[in-house]
Amino acid sequence: MRKTRQHVQYSGKVGDARFSHPSHWGKLCFLSTSDGDNCGLVKNMAITGIVSSNLIQPLLGILLVCGMEKLSDDLSPLSLKGKNKIFLNGEWVGVCRDSLSLVNTLKRKSRSKEVPPR
């Protein structure tokens, strides 16, 4: 997987689809793109891009041990006050009160090889 293609309809302007997004920095190379109609729609993966083949489930268990609270169905804005959101591969999976402690615990587990590598 070296090239990505953004599928958009060609009827009308697709200017926004051709522009780079800040979240793609370090993942996609914006200097090498095709010319013509596909300009900006076909993007090459950057040399610093990483494709992860890990499953989410083992990481969810590790995050729960580190202090993450799972999302419940009865979420209210008041119940989220003072909590930090936790995203895994772009998906909101939980919240935590003490993010510094969670990050330090994850780093410690990663260094001791308890967290699978990318």
The more confidently predicted of residues 103 and 51 is 103
Sign of CA dihedral 35, 39, 42, 43: positive
Q: Which two tokens stand for residue 33?
A: 């793109």
**Average pLDDT of the segment spanning 30-39:** 60
Q: Which of 62, 37, 45 is nearest to 114 (CA)?
A: 62
How far apart CA 2 and CA 28 sit, in angstroms, is: 10
Write the pLDDT tens digit of every residue in 17-28: 556 666 666 666
Domain boundaries, the chain: 3-45, 56-111
Q: Helix 56-66 to helix 99-111 angle, to the nearest 10 degrees?
A: 120
pLDDT at 29: 66
Q: For the stretch 96-115, what's the b/e string if a residue is b when 16 or more beta carbons lie within 10 angstroms of its beta carbon?
A: beeeeebeebbeeeeeeeeb
Write the pLDDT tens digit of every residue in 40-98: 566 766 666 666 666 778 888 899 999 999 888 888 888 889 999 998 877 889 999 99
Sign of CA dihedral 9, 11, 12, 15: positive
* Topology classification of domain 56-111: Hypothetical Protein Ta0175; Chain: A, domain 2 (3.90.1070)
